[in-house]
Amino acid sequence: MKNFRLSALLCCVSLCGFAACSDDKTDDQPEPQAYQVTQFESSTIPASIPGEGGGYKLTFVIRTETRSTGATFEPWAYRLTLGDVVGDAVTVTKPTTEIAITIPPNRSKEERGVAVEMAFGVKAETWTKIVEATQEGSLKDYQVTKFESTTIPATVPAGGGDYDVLFRLEVETRAAAPLFVAWQYRVTLGDAVGDAVEVTEPTEKIGIHIDASESVEERAVIVEMAEVAETPVWTKIVEAKQEAGRKEYEVTEFESTTIPASVPFAGGDYEVKFRTKIETRATPQFEPWQYRLTVGEAVGEPVAVNEPTESVAVHIGANYSEKEVDVIFETAAASQTPVWTKVVEAKQQAGMELLGGFYWTKSNVSVKNDRFVLADKPSDSGLFFRHESGYGVPSDEATYAGTAYTPAPVQIAIDAIPQNEGVDPCSLIDPALRMPTYAELSELYYGEDVQRTQDGVTGMGYTGVSLFLPYCGVMSTETGTSVGKSTFGGYWGLGGDFHGNGVIYSLNGEIGYSLLDYDAVGTNMAMVRCVRNVPQPKYVMHTLPETVDYKAFSLNVETDPGAFTYYDVTVWGDDGTLTQTGATDARPQVSVGIPKNDTKQDRTLRLFVNHIYTGVEFVQPAMTDYALYVSHTPASAEYGAFTLSVTCDSDMASFPVVVKGSDGGEWSGTGSKENPTVEIAIPENTGEERTLSIWVNGVDTKKTVKQGKQVVPLVYSVVWSEGYLTVRDGAYVFAAPKERGMYFKYKSQYGFALPDPLESKPKYGGVVYGPTATEMAYADIPYGDTDPCSLVAPAGTWRMPTADELIELTSEGSKEFVVDTYRLCSDGEQDVYLVPSGQSTGSSLMLPTASLMWSSDAGDAGKARYLAWSNTATGKPMVSSGGTSQANSMMVRCVRAK
């Protein structure tokens, strides 16, 4: 057994008592006295001691005994045994309660036993174990980091960069404490030695950032590693060179853009162009940058540009608002806190316009890049659609080419394109849009101004706004051909009639009319113009009477007005019956009057709100106990007696037919289901023409028969002169039948002639004939005392006609009429021609193209009655009651007794 001294391993010994001293004499037997004995109490040594060992404590107690000995303290010793090695004994000669003991590292992979023993007496011959434990081996396998490789190139770019250094872990057997050997690394750039970075856990890769070089010369790049120590030994694992930092670099600058100063409301795709310039700076060769697009209040996300770029594509969406918005394109250097610079500023036009309380898009529905969009310009036709269909057909094709858009292109036959499928192309553009309703289209209809032309396209303009609807023509689903561009067109609306014929607003510039109705043809395709999608009126509930029969009744309807102030509530029947009433936001509950069903068939009725079918349908039964007028003969009758035959349709056993005359007469007959034709004898009409009204079963059919009066042939009661009164060869005579005569004041013997043409309104020339020619001022011409007709030879035979005789002459109107030449009145025996003549005041001629002549009857004070007949085919003769001034002059026609 090997021995070694433990005294060298003890860190400290603490003596807690005092040793008693005695002389060497032992002859005398000592008396019994107090004696101190040491006893082991505890230890801090664990049952399993770490391989690296450590410092521990042994604790003792001092016990007092009575012994017959000269000493007062019993010495003792302890020793430490490590495996097979027994340590030297350490003697304790003083009272001690605590001993410090150090257990050294176990420089072995195997564990070993550890024992602490104690013995009493100076010779310490009998050893007793007071502590037993096991110590682990301190030699183990440890992970050591070794350099493997790196991505740092031999020549590092001047701009620096981020790189990796790769490592591997190797296993070594060491008497070191940790299982992993901590290490550190540092990066040296030129003369700048970087701080050491510790690595305290296994690592296969570290990232290294090399800053951009600010130098004009290349510099060394070194990566070193070392174990963690107070004076580490550094080992170079990477050596490289970094290029000089100051070089010529590309910097991006704005050059131009295709974005116009006024961007169309429909938006579009544009380009922003850039140029690069060369600068010498200590930055990367290309300076990354970013851009963003702001439209209105919507600020776009920044887009990074990390390589030289000459242009970027910019898409500006449609402006579905009624206001112009700002369009701003900005650039900034790549940064977390960029400073933005405006390089393009523009305005985007408003895409909607207010008309009649509703906002309308400025162009029709079109297609672009497999998306339904608004056409670029108001004058663009866009796509043809069937009613409420999702298939659009190009309008620039004279003949359908076989491709429709949904909005993706599809091959489909023109007659296979569906309609009334409940698809709204406007809502496929944007949920904020929809097709207009009947009420909204009414605002277009009533807001029409004049026909306009934009970009060479003709269409309709509207009062007070720039809104323009082009005449786009139509495309037939039967032939696939389009016609009518710039001449006429149609625009669809939501809803339809009882039979599903869609609402359509039709415009025809060729004949100048427009119409808001329903498409009863059903084979034409038309355009779509959108409105803002405000809430529409809708059906809430309705109330029917307890019993619905053929009689008239009221239907109570409750609606929700949405955003509308006015709209129609309509009940439509399969027989064409249409009743409607207006509802408002203040009066959304309305009553619709349903008329009597006066047919023999049940009537199916449907409820519409704002011309959109609500899904509500009910039946009004056919009528009963009816007697209906069908026809009658004759349509009219002469004054003589005749039989009026009235045919009816009835389910009654008996019903009356009554004929009521406008002169108070009344005649009747009785019909039945079996004998529906009633014949009624009508007597001769001895008075004026009368109207016979037909009544069936107490109801006025509004059918009438005219029964004429007995006609007595017209025979003039007097003889009319063949022409107008004139003067020739110093005598009063009559002009030829179609010639003009002279002009006379009322009952004046003096006449004067007027030159042609009368349209020049000639003046009196200053010469009158009585019958001798005499110069006389117009004002001096006497009147009112002589009938000039009485001066025709033989004197006293002829006279001026009375007003009644003029009425008799013209009572049957003109037998012949030639404009500006004559009228012919005749009773079959006498032909009297009336020619245009007018009425002279001396200074002018009034109504030169009308036929005027004096009667012999005076009128109001200072006036006389006369005949006036205008120079038109439909003109009616008139004999004035009050008359005109007797000082005026007209032509005279004479009469005499038969």
* Cα gap 667→150, rounded to integer Å: 126
Backbone phi, psi, residue 446, to 5°: -85, -10
* Cα gap 104→852, rounded to integer Å: 158
Query: The CATH number of the domain where 95 resides is what?
Result: 2.60.40
Could you write out the DSSP letters of every residue in 284-338? -SB--EEEEEEETTEEPPPEEE-S--SEEEEEE----SSS-EEEEEEEEES-SS-
* Cα gap 363→647, rounded to integer Å: 58
Beta pairing, strands 48-49 & 128-135: parallel
- Using alpha carbons only, give the angle 441, 444, 445 rounded to the nearest 5 degrees: 90
* pLDDT at residue 795 is higher than 80: yes
* Cα gap 138→66, rounded to integer Å: 49
Based on the domain organization, do 469 and 601 belong to the same domain? no
Based on the domain organization, do 881 and 754 belong to the same domain? yes
Q: Is residue 13 part of a domain?
A: no
Q: To which H or E segment does residue 791 belong?
A: none
Based on the domain organization, do 232 and 254 belong to the same domain? no
Based on the domain organization, do 676 and 697 belong to the same domain? yes
pLDDT-wise least confident of 22-31, 262-271, 841-850: 22-31
Residues paired with 459 in a beta bridge: 452, 470
Residue range 452-472: mean pLDDT, rounded: 94
| Contact call for residues 684 and 861 (beta carbons, < 8 A) | no
Q: Which residues contact 621 (CB under 8 A, 6 or more apart)?
A: 548, 549, 550, 597, 602, 603
Distance of CA 881 to the CA centre of its chain: 69
* Cα gap 579→587, rounded to integer Å: 18
Q: Domain end: 504, 532, 560, which one?
A: 532
Q: What is the band of 455 on the pLDDT scale with cuts at 50, 70, 90?
A: very high
Q: To which H or E segment does residue 843 belong?
A: none
Task: Check residue 33 and give its pLDDT.
Answer: 75
Residues paired with 620 in a beta bridge: 603
Task: Check residue 71 and give its pLDDT.
Answer: 67
- Type of residue numbered 715: V
Burial class (CB in 10 A: 0-12, 13-18, 19+), 692: buried
Backbone phi, psi, residue 268, to 5°: 160, -175
Based on the domain organization, do 728 and 774 belong to the same domain? yes
- Using alpha carbons only, give the angle 334, 335, 340 rounded to the nearest 5 degrees: 80
Supply the Cα-derived Rg of the chain in whole angstroms: 64
Task: Check residue 2 and give its pLDDT.
Answer: 36
Beta pairing, strands 767-769 & 773-775: antiparallel
pLDDT-wise least confident of 41-55, 266-280, 884-898: 266-280
293: tokens are: 């697009």
Based on the domain organization, do 157 and 47 belong to the same domain? no
Task: Check residue 6 and give its pLDDT.
Answer: 30
pLDDT tens digits, residue range 48-103?
999 888 999 999 999 888 776 666 888 889 999 999 999 888 999 899 999 999 99
* Cα gap 616→592, rounded to integer Å: 14
Based on the domain organization, do 788 and 821 belong to the same domain? yes
Task: Count CB-CB contacts under 10 A for residue 857.
Answer: 19
**Percent of the chain residues past pLDDT 90, beyond the cut:** 68
| Exposure class string for 34-52: b at 16+ Cβ within 10 A, else e | ebbebebeebebeeebebb
Q: To which H or E segment does residue 441 belong?
A: helix 438-446
Strand, helix or coil for residue 237: strand
Burial class (CB in 10 A: 0-12, 13-18, 19+), 280: exposed
Based on the domain organization, do 363 and 324 belong to the same domain? no
Based on the domain organization, do 837 and 814 belong to the same domain? yes
Task: Check residue 841 and give its pLDDT.
Answer: 96
Task: Check residue 70 and give its pLDDT.
Answer: 60
Based on the domain organization, do 238 and 263 belong to the same domain? no
Query: The CATH number of the domain where 560 resides is what?
Result: 2.60.40.1930
Task: Check residue 249 and give its pLDDT.
Answer: 60
* pLDDT at residue 232 is higher than 50: yes
Based on the domain organization, do 655 and 794 belong to the same domain? no
Q: Is residue 17 part of a domain?
A: no
Residues paired with 352 in a beta bridge: 361
- Using alpha carbons only, give the angle 352, 419, 459 rounded to the nearest 5 degrees: 40
pLDDT-wise least confident of 21-35, 204-218, 308-322, 328-342: 21-35
Based on the domain organization, do 492 and 445 belong to the same domain? yes
Distance of CA 396 to the CA centre of its chain: 25
Task: Check residue 710 and give its pLDDT.
Answer: 85
Task: Check residue 613 and give its pLDDT.
Answer: 96
Distance of CA 73 to the CA centre of its chain: 112
**Of the candidates 639, 642, 600, the residue with the CA atom closest to the CA atom of residue 621:** 600
Q: What is the band of 264 on the pLDDT scale with cuts at 50, 70, 90?
A: confident
* Cα gap 528→434, rounded to integer Å: 10
Q: Is residue 102 part of a domain?
A: yes
Q: What is the band of 439 on the pLDDT scale with cuts at 50, 70, 90?
A: very high
Q: Is residue 23 part of a domain?
A: no
Q: Domain end: 326, 348, 370, which one?
A: 348
Helix segments in 753-896, DSSP class H: 803-810
Q: Is residue 408 part of a domain?
A: yes
- Using alpha carbons only, give the angle 287, 292, 296 rounded to the nearest 5 degrees: 160
Q: Is residue 154 part of a domain?
A: yes
pLDDT-wise least confident of 35-44, 65-74, 108-117, 344-353: 65-74
* Cα gap 256→677, rounded to integer Å: 91
14: tokens are: 């603490």
**Percent of the chain residues past pLDDT 70, beyond the cut:** 94
Task: Check residue 456 and give its pLDDT.
Answer: 93
| Contact call for residues 746 and 889 (beta carbons, < 8 A) | no
Tell me which of 733 and 19 has the higher pLDDT: 733
Q: Give the HSE-up count for residue 499: Cα atoms under 13 Å, Cβ half-sphere.
A: 10
* pLDDT at residue 246 is higher than 80: no
Task: Check residue 620 and give its pLDDT.
Answer: 95
Task: Check residue 27 and give its pLDDT.
Answer: 47
C-alpha distance from residue 504 to each of 409, 428, 501, 529, 570 (Å): 26, 20, 9, 11, 17
Backbone phi, psi, residue 818, to 5°: -125, 120
Q: What is the band of 10 on the pLDDT scale with cuts at 50, 70, 90?
A: very low
Tell me which of 109 and 601 has the higher pLDDT: 601
pLDDT tens digits, residue range 684-742?
999 999 999 999 999 999 999 999 998 888 899 999 999 999 999 999 999 999 999 99
Q: Which residues contact 721 (CB under 8 A, 6 or more apart)?
A: 734, 789, 792, 798, 893, 894, 895, 896
Task: Count CB-CB contacts under 10 A for residue 552.
Answer: 13
Tell me which of 204 and 414 has the higher pLDDT: 414
pLDDT tens digits, residue range 251-262?
778 888 888 988
Residue range 574-587: mean pLDDT, rounded: 95
| Contact call for residues 118 and 130 (beta carbons, < 8 A) | yes
* Cα gap 649→672, rounded to integer Å: 9
Q: Average per-residue pLDDT in the chain?
A: 89
pLDDT tens digits, residue range 525-554?
999 999 999 999 999 999 999 889 999 999
Task: Check residue 600 and give its pLDDT.
Answer: 87
Q: Domain end: 216, 242, 268, which one?
A: 242
Measure the CA dihedral 553/554/555/561, to 10°.
160
Please tell me which of 119-123, 334-338, 674-678 the model is most confident about, judged by mean pLDDT.
674-678
* Cα gap 626→604, rounded to integer Å: 20
Structural domain boundaries, residue 297: 249-348
Burial class (CB in 10 A: 0-12, 13-18, 19+), 693: middle
Q: To which H or E segment does residue 134 belong?
A: strand 128-135
* pLDDT at residue 21 is higher than 50: no
Q: Is residue 822 part of a domain?
A: yes
Strands (E), 390-501: 392-394, 403-405, 409-411, 433-434, 448-454, 457-462, 468-470, 472-476, 482-485, 488-496
* Cα gap 579→332, rounded to integer Å: 66
Q: Which residues contact 594 (CB under 8 A, 6 or more apart)?
A: 552, 553, 554, 555, 571, 579, 605, 620
* pLDDT at residue 238 is higher than 90: no
Could you write out the DSSP letters of every residue in 515-542? EEEE-SS--EEBB-EEEE-PPPPEEEEE
**Of the candidates 254, 246, 245, the residue with the CA atom closest to the CA atom of residue 305:** 254
Residue range 431-460: mean pLDDT, rounded: 94
Domain count, the chain: 7
Q: Is residue 362 part of a domain?
A: yes
| Contact call for residues 877 and 867 (beta carbons, < 8 A) | yes
